[in-house]
Amino acid sequence: MVTGIRLWAVFSVTSFCASVIYGNIDQKDSSNTLPGIIFVPGDGGSQIEAKLNKPTTVHYVCTQKSDAYFDLWLNMELLAPYVIDCWVDNMKLLYNRTTRKTTNNLGVETRIPGFGNSDTVEWLDPSHRYPTGYFKDIANALIPLGYERGTTIRGAPFDFRKAPNELGDYFLQLRRLVEDTYQTTGQKVVFVAHSMGSPVLQVFLNQQAQHWKDKHIRAFVSLAGAWGGAIKAMKVFASGDNLGIYVIQSKSLRAEQRASPSLAFLLPNPEIWGSDYILAQTPTTNYTTANWNDFFSCMHEYLSQCGRKFFINTVHIIWCPMSMVINTVYEIKFQ
């Protein structure tokens, strides 16, 4: 996962989003009903629940069968040493080269809770433990303006492990959520998307008829949108990412992260980064988008690259707030 649990830092733009959204009331509507807001999370930004009936486990401490669904992501207790191996095996996906689709690991069922409500994207841990707050600061800033959770503040969580080509059912749900929110408020909807949520949402919008978008969509607020991909995705493929949890070794999570098509979806877009920009360096080789297949060959990993074509002229208004003093990976150097 590219994002990690310290996502709250990017939401210093809360006041900006609130002013944009509040200013989008349709002046023709005498009731001045607030426009509905739909949060679209990024990579790692949705809760995942799981139920197990596994043929085997990777460790004697791992649970083989569960009678009910339990919190898989984010559950801090499952990220403890040794137990984390169980978590990785339950989270990782299996890729089918024939269908070019993924499935859960054997004996694992998953579901994404809370679609339509905002709680499961406001907090990544259902117990609301620090530091797993996500969209909560934005939601809290909107409440004094008259917004209400579940009616004018909605959430659209999805299985962030998957790339858009596997999110067809989610897109159907999202369309119905937009229409329901529009009917409830009488106002066009405002999307607030973060990180990978922005290009995922754009894929959804590209699939909708223009007249539908003209009728239902007011604006699209993109927070740190990964429009051109992220160099950090290459780092995660190579070394893994510990999600900012210092007691976890990055390589412990690498197998699960490599198995997620969304990581390939977040690779730098050659059309934007070009063929000259050095993405990663070793003592002997510089890697760009022109030779990055060699980069992945060194890891002996099969990589499914997802098509990335975005067209940002499909909604009336797109807001892209910028932030400063947030460290961002721009190059990888291996010694």
What are the structural domains, with CATH classification, of the chain? 7-333 (3.40.50.1820)
Residues 177, 153: Cα–Cα separation, whole Å: 11
Cβ–Cβ < 8 Å for 185, 34: yes
Read off the pLDDT of residues 295-333 as tens digits, 9 standing for 90 and up.
Answer: 887 765 545 444 444 444 455 567 776 666 667 776 667
pTM for the full predicted model? 0.87
Sign of CA dihedral 74, 75, 76, 79: negative
State the burial class of residue 5 (Cβ atoms within 10 Å of its Cβ: 0-12, 13-18, 19+). Answer: buried
State the burial class of residue 307 (Cβ atoms within 10 Å of its Cβ: 0-12, 13-18, 19+). Answer: exposed
For residue 50, give every residue at least 6 positions away whose Cβ sits within 8 Å of its Cβ, in sequence order, or none. Answer: 66, 69, 70, 72, 90, 108, 109, 110
Return the HEC string of 157-168.
CCCCCCCHHHCH
Read off the pLDDT of residues 146-196 as tens digits, 9 standing for 90 and up.
Answer: 999 999 999 999 999 999 999 999 999 999 999 999 999 999 999 999 999
CA 294 from centroid of its chain's CA atoms: 27
Average pLDDT over residues 21-39: 67
Residue for token pair 């999570």 = 253
Q: Rank 128-137, 238-247, 304-313 by mean pLDDT and report only the highest.
A: 128-137
